[in-house]
Structure 1
Amino acid sequence: MTIKVMLVDDQALVRGALAALLDLETDLSVVAEVADGTEVVEAARTHQPDVVVMDVEMPGLDGISATAQLRRAYPDARVLIVTTFGRPGYLRRGLQAGAVGFVVKDTPARELADAVRRVHRGLRVVDPALATDSLIAGESPLTPRETDVLRAARKGGTVADIAGELYLSEGTVRNHLSAIIGKTNARTRAEAAQIAESNGWL
């Protein structure tokens, strides 16, 4: 039986390379290539893939959010996240969103093809080094609302801008930012955003 694969990555060269590698396998067939997370559900509806190979960082809608959307629309969808950024928080958030596999892009072609097969069989596939890092790093210390505030703060706006975007009072935003800086052991909100991003919490 041929396993139908859909590739989701905003970089055309990466999609092309992955497609070429996977199409060399006699039991794998790339049936669709998607460049934007917002197109994932519609493309899955059209092409009915068995396994979706998903990037994390994309414009429009990131791969973790796209995975969650796809799983809501198609609960049986099998998602293998393949990313350049092996951040521990990405692994935890990806699995929580419903992905069943998580590997980094420098995984050898043969191992990647095998990961697709294992995910298709319903097995969980996780890069061992990333799993270890994730255990060491632990869960994000930020609450969902603090995460929203830090994402908004990352854009560089004022407290008033953040408050307006999130429909919060300026005092509430200041309290959240103070808590965020404390929890991340940062000196500024910019440093807090950098720490959170490097851990995959955002």
Structure 2
Amino acid sequence: MIKVLIADDQHLVRGALAALLNLEDDIQVVAECADGDEVAQALDDSGAQVVLLDVQMPRLDGLRTAQLLRDSHPEVKILIVTTFDRPGYFRQAFEAGASGFLVKDSPPAELVAAIRRVHSGGKVVDPQRAMLSVETRSNPLTEREREILALAAGGGPVSQIAASLHLSAGTVRNHLSNAIGKTNTSNRIEAARTAREMGWI
């Protein structure tokens, strides 16, 4: 029996995936999480062997969760299942230690086959997405720049971003300026939008 954990902040999506997978004779959903920061503990409690991770979750996103699991639970297989089909996410998923990448509009049979494949040690790599990820330049943003840009995307003032990260306003402005330059945009909102489109945040 393949034990699966699903991490997705959308309750309906998570429930639908669990119901679908539990119809298979050799797959059992043993845990569900609404955010990446719940995954490690849920893995320890459930003994799941395959983790399905959404990319965008509120506190700890799927790509960062995958990086952490690579170190803390190296035996667990990770499959990124996301709405956002972006070359940057595809590249980052495999760099973070994922064994596969699927979009949520994939046929159910494809998801089931992907779980069986990664569980057995294989990879799930779509050739077209792989080629696009090679053609897309790698993420030029530092981890702090990504963090600040993600907060800036909401339009909040610099002082609020600075307070939430325990940084000075000047430091936040410097990081935003660097991110704007690296994304070749004219302001932080454009920089955040470009970074999201590229799959960098």
Deviation at 1:117, TM superposition (A): 0.8
Question: Which residue in 2 is equivalent to 1:76?
Answer: 75
Shift of 1:125: 1.0
Cα separation, partners in 2 of 1:174 and 1:46, compared to 1, 3 Å:
closer
Shift of 1:36: 2.1
Partner secondary structure for residue 6 of structure 1:
strand
Aligned ranges 1:168-187 → 2 under 5 Å: 170-187=169-186
Aligned residues: 201
Residue 6 of structure 1 is matched in structure 2 by 5
* Ranges in structure 1 where 5+ consecutive residues have no aligned partner: none
Q: How does 1:187-202 map to 2 (within 5 A)?
A: 187-202=186-201
Secondary structure of the corresponding residue to residue 126 of structure 1: coil
Structure 1 segment 1-202 matched on structure 2, within 5 A: 2-163=1-162, 165-166=164-165, 170-202=169-201
For 1:142, give the aligned amino acid.
Answer: L
Shift of the alpha carbon at 1:196? 0.2
TM-score for both structures, normalised by structure 1: 0.87
Distance in 1 (alpha carbons) for counterparts of 2:160 and 2:34: 31
How far the C-alpha of 1:52 sits from its partner, in A, is 0.9
Query: C-alpha root-mean-square deviation of aligned residues, in Å?
Result: 2.1
AA paired with 1:60? R
Provide, for residues 95-138 of structure 1, a one-character-per-residue CA deviation record: whole Å limited to 9, x for no partner.
22221111111111111111001101111212333323212212
Conserved? CA contact 1:101–1:126, under 8 Å: yes
In structure 1, C-alpha distance between the alignment counterparts of 2:68 and 2:178, rounded to whole Å: 30
Letter in 2 for 1:70: L
The answer for unaligned runs of 5 or more in structure 2 is none
Counterpart residue type for residue 113 of structure 2: D
Paired residue type of 1:57: Q
Verify the 8 A CA contact 1:10 1:35 in the aligned structure 2: yes
Deviates more, 1:96-105 or 1:61-70: 61-70
State the AA in 2 paired with 1:189: R
Comparing 179-188 and 107-116, the one that deviates more: 179-188
Q: Partner amino acid for 1:116?
A: I
Instruction: Name the stretch that deviates more: 83-92 or 165-174.
Output: 165-174
1:104–1:127 CA contact under 8 A, matched in 2 = no
In structure 1, distance between residues paired with 2:97 and 2:71: 9
